[in-house]
Amino acid sequence: MAVPKALSTLARILSLRQQSSNPYNLLLTSTISLTPKVLSEISDSDDWYKFGEYMRSLGHNDKIDHLSHYLGPYNNLNGYRALAHLITEGYFSTILTTNLDSTLERALSSHTQYISYQTLIVGKDKDEYIVRALERRSNDIYIVKLHGSLSHRVLPDGYPDVFELRPLLRSSVEHYLNQDIIIVGSIGREDDIQRALAISGHNKIYYVTPQKPTRDDYVARAIGARVKDLNGSMISGKYGLFETFFLTLESLLLPKQEKHEIKSLESNPLQALSATPTSLPFTGKIEIFIVFDKEDVDFLRELKNHLKPMETQGLVTVWDATQIVGGTDWKQAINNHLKTASIVLLLVSANFMASREGYNLARQAMVKNAPPKVYVIPVLLREVDWEYSDFGKLAPLPSNRKPVGSWVDRNAAFLDIVKGIREIVAELKAPLVSDQLTSPIIITNRHPDMAAFAKKNTETHPPETEKVIIASDHLEYRLEDQPWYAPSLPIMKS
């Protein structure tokens, strides 16, 4: 079957836009994963209204558990891997999605070309933070999850009924929706997207959907108001299927580049993994290196007290610059510990951000002296504008991003921090299935969503891992998920 003219034309346009660093925006809708088959598996009917009725009968956590189970980690994997390949080559940079799964992030993280990207989750990340990121209007790669994320157990109130963009976010989302955009899937059930997408305008819309749109289809109406030839903007039928569409785009735009062999992983993931040697666990004590400013020594002392039980258990050793003995070459001592530490904690405050020495140490920890695995974790002490720093998009502790100094009970804040570190220590001491999927030269940073992980049955849902990848002389962060039941959540990139 010949490639539709609309699709071949789109491929040529995307090639030109990639060369001028002016990519199309992309909207991935929930119908990509919530197919009639999935609706039937969840609610015994492929009718949306019966699906909604069934979901309304469930509690919030039960909804998340149901959706997590049926929107598995291999949902449309071939298509997402093709899309990830296109993203790494610069064909897309802003991806808005109402999908709840994290298959795209997983596909990006397992790609052989490591890239820097950030996932913004409405309902988890602060609206102000999302708006600031989007208003940069840069070509940085953003995945904006408009309806939450199952991995973070974030779901809109009243799901799956009426969706509403919060006022602070509306303007930014409208801006991206009303630029040149490719819409994959129907928005018929997504009221917020319909309200944000203008019917008339000068920007181009390409519409990709398996079923030929009816005249009442909102996106078809918007296209009809902008161009005379609807067929030149619509891709339906076989090539409107999510996987077929992106695999075809990949073959048209990147015909000579090596494709990822993922069939065996998709058909039998555990068997495919078992053919690869597993990584070895850490057998000794995990070294924790704490980077701090001298003005924050009281916080340092409290943190070390809270880490003491793990030291007593023989799990970790804790080192910081206060332990440098007189007469020692202090620079050499710091460099030595940066090379041997598996966890580096950055105690972030205004003092730390203003300290050239502390800031440089933070950069060294992330770039120069990385052993095979290092978790670099900002520990927020006091309120400060840290999110635009080199390490500003790493997932911090405490897990709710509230600085220790702002907690009524500082002991509770430090307990949250220690729980996050204890989880990381456990991961470092266990062989990681995800390590079998990627290059071994990595720095890791795990998102410390402790409440979510505590609720998971660890036998059914093994611990998830997020990774920060370092390549050559510059920072490149990416999420690494394990191919299990529940998808893992992206860490902020720098």
**pLDDT (mean) for 380-389:** 88
Q: For residue 257, what pLDDT is reported?
A: 54
Nearest-CA neighbor of 435 among 394, 390, 465, 403? 465
* Distance (Å, whole) CA 434 – CA 467: 10
pLDDT digits (tens, 9 = 90+) for 89-105: 999 989 999 999 888 88
Mean pLDDT of the chain: 77
Q: What local confidence, expressed as pLDDT, does residue 381 receive?
A: 94
Query: What was the pLDDT predicted at 114?
Result: 54
Residue 147 has pLDDT above 90, yes or no: yes
Selected residue with higher pLDDT from 372 and 124: 124
All domains in the chain, ordered by first residue: 5-34+71-260 (3.40.50.1220), 286-475 (3.40.50.10140)
With a cut of 50, say whether residue 132 has pLDDT above it: yes
- Pick the most confident of 264-268, 314-318, 320-324, 435-439: 314-318
Backbone angles phi, psi at 488, to 5 degrees: -90, 160
Q: Which pLDDT tens digit goes with each residue over 272-285?
A: 222 333 333 444 68
User: Could you read off the pLDDT of 310-324 as tens digits, one per residue?
Assistant: 988 888 899 888 887
- pLDDT for position 139: 66
What are the tokens at 159? Answer: 């799901």
325: amino acid identity, one letter: V
pTM strictly above 0.85: no
Is the per-residue pLDDT at 70 higher than 80? yes
Which segment of 80-89, 298-307, 350-359 scores lowest on mean pLDDT? 350-359
pLDDT value at 435 more than 70: no
Q: Is the pLDDT of residue 39 over 70?
A: yes
% of residues, the chain, pLDDT over 90: 38
Distance of CA 98 to the CA centre of its chain: 14
User: Cα separation of 171 and 175, whole Å?
Assistant: 6
Average pLDDT over every residue of 130-156 = 85
Q: What is the CA radius of gyration of the chain?
A: 23
Mind listing the pLDDT tens digit for each residue in 317-369?
Answer: 998 888 876 676 777 778 777 778 888 899 999 988 888 777 777 777 766 43
**What does the pLDDT average to over 461-484?**
34
- What local confidence, expressed as pLDDT, does residue 303 receive? 95
Residues in the chain: 494
Distance of CA 253 to the CA centre of its chain: 25
Q: What is the pLDDT of residue 360?
A: 78
The residue written with tokens 């009442």 in the block is 216
Count of other CB atoms within 10 angstroms of residue 97: 23
Q: How confident is the model at residue 430 (pLDDT cuts 50, 70, 90)?
A: low
pLDDT of residue 240: 94
Q: Is the pLDDT of residue 447 over 70?
A: no
Region of 201 please: left (phi>0), alpha (psi -120 to 50) or beta: left
pLDDT-derived band at 182, boundaries 50, 70, 90: very high
Q: Residue 1's pLDDT band (boundaries 50, 70, 90)?
A: low
What was the pLDDT predicted at 262? 35
Q: Looking at 33-47, 126-140, 327-341, 397-411, which range is the least confident one?
A: 327-341
267: Cβ contacts below 8 Å, ≥ 6 apart:
none
Share of the chain above pLDDT 70, in %: 75
Res. 254: pLDDT tops 50? yes
Ranking 61-65, 66-70, 466-470 by mean pLDDT, the lowest is 466-470
Predicted confidence band at 162 (pLDDT cuts at 50, 70, 90)? confident
